[in-house]
Amino acid sequence: MATAKGKSVAATPKKAARKVRILVGKPGLDGHDRGAKIIARALRDAGVEVIYTGLHQTPEMIVSAAAQEDVDGIGLSILSGAHNYLFPRILQLLREKKMGDVVLFGGGIIPDDDIPKLVKKGVDRVFTPGTPIQEIVDYVNERIRPRK
């Protein structure tokens, strides 16, 4: 793992033009925000600019916040079982708004069987319970770059 990290640093020696901006979103009606808040805080501590939507957002609200804040990635936390509706719906709205290059990732209570289907539809990465925070921070640092 140390080498992988070293490589990624070596591959991007010059400083990014601006900080990466990530929208951490809680779509749907579930109130479990422990994970979302921990991720938001850890990303902020790692130097990422974080916008947290708060709870109970519709897909429309999330995409409109993403457009307004001009984010590079969206991380969704879903523990309600509605992931098979919410992820694809948000992807669809992003494409409609010509924001298909915004990286969509997420996590929560998501059965293994559903993950390949979500990835096939365009979700970049799905994290399952028990993922160390650093793994998610590393993922964001390595995968997501400022869009412009």
Tell me which residues touch another protein (CB under 8 A). 24, 28-34, 36-38, 40-42, 44, 50, 52-56, 58, 80-82, 84-86, 89, 109, 111-112, 128-130, 132-134
* Sheet of 103-108, strands arranged across: 49-52, 21-25, 73-78, 103-108, 125-127
Cβ 78 to another protein shortest distance, Å: 10
User: How far is the C-alpha of 124 from the C-alpha of 105, rounded, in Å?
Assistant: 5
Cβ 13 to another protein shortest distance, Å: 28
Closer residue to another protein, CB minimum distance, 67 or 147: 67
Closer residue to another protein, CB minimum distance, 32 or 125: 32
| Cα dihedral across residues 63, 69, 71, 76: positive or negative | negative
